[in-house]
Structure formats: structure tokens, C-alpha cells
Structure 1
């Protein structure tokens, strides 16, 4: 019998989350307050934005779970899956704060070119994803994923594309490193039958045995979370500087 979903978290995700929380350095009071608030907001967004999409994918049959893996569910989503929403958001967030980043606003951060490029890319992801969903059943997971990611990419880059281009190291690293670990444990879980992806609704492309859809899901979720966190603090710093300049 496969490992229960909650047992999977106890073995693979919660220890890493606790380690990163322990390693996170102590920031000044303002950064601590803003970081904590940013994490709370991003976790709430992850639950709100992912639940309808995930529920649709599960009820459609894009993926299912092995016997004995699910102990409880809501809207067809297992409790362990909901836990994953929060754990991934916090894991990439704690990694980001462990490694550190500079949220300072600088003149030029509102440059139009990167912001427009990001909006165009997000719109292309959304439109292309919907087109894929309508073309073939094998593109449902991949196309649905791209359509789900597109609006977030467009919004984030419309706000802070200039800053993201100017300070790429922190958000790229914090998106990639935890994601590599999540790829490894996801591959293990699929191999052990904890969750099973439908052959009908996936492309069948699976580098190293990990479906391309899963690769892109974990990567995109990590990127959206990390860029959301850095932009949250960057916007607050921009507002601080604006208030100082206006004397308020």
C-alpha cells in the first residue's frame, strides 16, 4: 500500500520546511513584519487561486490518488494536497529569506519595456493554454496549467517587471532550488503510486520519468510565490520612499 499523503509530508516536506525556517536569519522588525505578512498573503492566495483549478483537474480525471493515500478531502481535493499548497509556498518563501534579497526601490524600476514584455508573455501563456485545452485531450493538463499561470505572470510583471529584471538572482534561485527538491520527491511519489496521472490528459513527455506537466507545475508555482514575495516588499519600500519624498 502506498504511503498516505500526510505521511508523505511528515517524511519529505515538513522536515525541510522546518529546517529552512530554522536557518532563516533574524531581520529587523520592519522586515520581519513585512515578511510574515507577505507569507500569510501568498499562502492565502495559493489556497484561493489553486483550489478551483485543482478541483477541476481532479474531478475531470487528470490525476488520481493511490488506494489508502487520501484520508479526507474537500471539493475533491485531499487534505494532503491542501497542505501542499501551504508547504510549497512557505518552503520557497523561507528559502528566499534564508538566502536574502534587497527589496529596495530604485528609479527605473517602473520602466515600461520589461513590464509590457511580462504582460505580453502572460497573455500568451493564457491564450495559448486555452487554445491547447480546446485542441486535444492530451493537452488538458499542460494547457490548463499555462492558462492558470498566465494571468499571474501578467499581473506581477505589469507591477514590477523592471525590478524583477534588475534583481533576478534572488527570485530565480529561490524558485529553482526548492523546486528541484520537489521534483525529486514528486518523482518518487509517482513511482510509488501515491498519485497517478492520466495518460489521456497528459502529453506523455516525461524527462527522467517525471511528466513535463509536473515539472512545469512545481516550477511555475515556485516562481509565482517568490516573485509575489519580493514584489510585495518592493512595493512597500517604494511607498516608504514616496512618503519620505513628500514629507508625509
Structure 2
């Protein structure tokens, strides 16, 4: 299986299916933010991930199989750049499907939750910085993930954790299901040797047969997509009150 075939099998079909049955979040039928949120997140994801991923490949933290890609730009396969866009589209469309059916939770402890979320991801970032400065080869991939994604997640919670807490059920479901799907797809790709994760730069732990670092990568990137889109759609710097939740849930 080639990298392009991977996209055509695992990413393109579910995207096309959700496009065919496209649903907009409740009460946002004519809101331009719905049309712009996913493209904006795709652009940010592409810009932010490109130098990071090039560094990983340059350091041989991972590499791709011979004759499995159509070409490279810098150190990274063309198909990898495509993935930077396809993943946000996949997860973003799934989020829209979910938001068509659900409502936010009335927010009672928003302020405390906001600071707690920011502190959690800041702590994870600190762990990554410690591992990076420690300099052990076996924790390099893990450290590079932890200093790359969690700082942005911490900033999101600090910026408007009230909104994220109000949509906590949506964050949980629409992060967990696409992540589980991409875990399975990634396991197939590794087994097919489309790409290989260096044992030298990983801790050797696994999640459902997938290297821990890969599992965390998909978890954090899907969190970035989901939380980013929610903030673009609903960000208000205010807790969602019971009255607001009732209006959002109206059909």
C-alpha cells in the first residue's frame, strides 16, 4: 500500500460521505463562521505542523517506505502535507455532524474549569520541556510532541475555557471517535511499512498496539482541531448560561 492509497482508503471516503450528508451546527444555518472555521483550522494546522514534521523526519524519528510516496518537499512526503489538511477536514466534519444533534451543557464552574484546563496542558508542556532538556534519545519523539501541541491547548483554555467547558461533552466525543479511527488506520500504515517509527527515539510503550507517541499525536491533534473549531464558532469569553444553552438547543 502506498501513502496515497492510504488516503484514498482511510480518509477520502469518510470525508466524502460526511460532505454528502453535511450538517451545520444548530442555529447556525446562515452563519459564515461555519463555512470558515474548518478552512481556517486547516491553514493553521498546515502552517504550524510543517516545520515540526520536517524536523522529525530530518532527525529520522520516523521515515517513509521506499517507493511508497510520490515525492517529497523538504524532508516530508507530499502525502504528509495532504494529511495536514485531510485530518482537520475529517475531524471537523464529524464535529459538525455532532453539533447538529447536541446542545452545550449549562456552565456552572466555568472559571475554575478554564484555569484547570490551562494548568493541565501547561503541566504536560513542562514535562515535555524536561524530557527534551534531559536529552535521552528514547524520549525524543515524546518530548517533541509534548512541547508542540499542549502549549496551544493550554492557550485555548486560558483564552476561553468557559466555552470549551460548556462544550465538554462535544470535545470528548468528537475527539475520541476520530482518534480511535485514526489509531486503527495508523496501525495499518505502520504494519504496511508506509512509514516506520524509530525504536531508538521512542519509549517502547504502546496503546492498543500503537506506539505511545503516535497515539498521543492523534489525540492532541484532534483536540487542537475540535477545540479550535469550537472557539471559532462559539468563543465568547463567557460561560454558557442555562438560558443560552436553551437558545442553542432550540430547533
TM-score, normalising length from structure 2?
0.86
Counterpart for residue 99 of structure 2? 100
CA spacing shift, 1:105–1:204, aligned 2, 3 Å: closer
Counterpart for residue 235 of structure 1? 235
Q: CA deviation at 1:57?
A: 0.7
Matched, 1:153 2:153: yes
Q: CA deviation at 1:188?
A: 0.6
Counterpart for residue 7 of structure 2? 9
Does the 8 A contact of 1:103 with 1:234 survive in 2?
no
**Alignment gaps of 5+ in structure 1:** 239-248
CA spacing shift, 1:190–1:19, aligned 2, 3 Å: same
Q: What are the within-5 Å matches in structure 2 for residues 4-43 of structure 1?
A: 4-26=2-24, 28-31=28-31, 33-43=32-42
Q: CA deviation at 1:36?
A: 1.7
Take 1:81 and 1:73, find their aligned partners in 2: how far apart are those partners?
Answer: 9
Take 1:211 and 1:26, find their aligned partners in 2: how far apart are those partners?
Answer: 35
User: Could you report, residue by residue, the CA deviation over 1:149-208 in whole angstroms, capped at 9, with x for unpaired residues?
Assistant: 122111110122122222211121111111111111100110111100111100111233
CA spacing shift, 1:5–1:147, aligned 2, 3 Å: same
Counterpart for residue 244 of structure 2? none
User: Could you report, residue by residue, the CA deviation over 1:30-56 in whole angstroms, capped at 9, with x for unpaired residues?
Assistant: 33x211211111001101111111111
Q: CA deviation at 1:26?
A: 4.9
Does the 8 A contact of 2:11 with 2:86 survive in 1?
yes
Q: What are the within-5 Å matches in structure 2 for residues 23-102 of structure 1?
A: 23-26=21-24, 28-31=28-31, 33-100=32-99
Number of equivalenced pairs? 234
Q: CA deviation at 1:107?
A: 8.0
Determine helix, strand or coil for the equivalent of 1:61. Answer: coil
Of 227-236 and 56-65, more deviation after overlay is shown by 227-236
Take 2:85 and 2:33, find their aligned partners in 1: how far apart are those partners?
Answer: 18
Counterpart for residue 244 of structure 1? none
Does the 8 A contact of 1:108 with 1:162 survive in 2?
no
CA spacing shift, 1:231–1:108, aligned 2, 3 Å: farther
Take 2:236 and 2:104, find their aligned partners in 1: how far apart are those partners?
Answer: 9
Does the 8 A contact of 2:41 with 2:229 survive in 1?
yes
Take 2:141 and 2:213, find their aligned partners in 1: how far apart are those partners?
Answer: 7
TM-score, normalising length from structure 1?
0.87
Take 1:105 and 1:211, find their aligned partners in 2: how far apart are those partners?
Answer: 34
Q: CA RMSD in A?
A: 2.2
Take 1:38 and 1:165, find their aligned partners in 2: how far apart are those partners?
Answer: 19
Counterpart for residue 210 of structure 1? 210
Take 2:106 and 2:44, find their aligned partners in 1: how far apart are those partners?
Answer: 27
